[in-house]
Structure 1
């Protein structure tokens, strides 16, 4: 995206801990391991997005073309084909 103004800081997250339903939106809760309490996770980012954006994120993460690959096929993919 050439028209993107990026002033946001990068934030490392260890995992996606959960996805909460907030009406038409979803809250993605990302965590990282606690250094003070072994076995515990610290919430690093809570990101609220429209539910339909999750499909777009899936295509981007899989590196797939939305016009040639179905969402159902992406859901079945567990690793790289090659």
Structure 2
């Protein structure tokens, strides 16, 4: 069981302050903490996924979608 239960509605509503959803905020916080721990080095997606999964229940595909949105590298529709 994850440390924070997910409420799907609250997870999808962007915060008025910066437009980030709860899940995106968690991903960015974990990414920042892991980068600090690694001395500023890059964090692999699998390492990020493992650490995010310790906090919330998220699939690999869902994490990828959030990362694509955060980086602005969305896949074009077919």
Q: TM-score range by the shorter chain?
A: 0.3 to 0.5
TM-score, normalised by the number of residues in structure 1: 0.31
TM-score, normalised by the number of residues in structure 2: 0.32
Higher alpha-carbon Rg: 1
Of Structure 1 and Structure 2, which has the larger fraction of its residues in helix?
A: 2
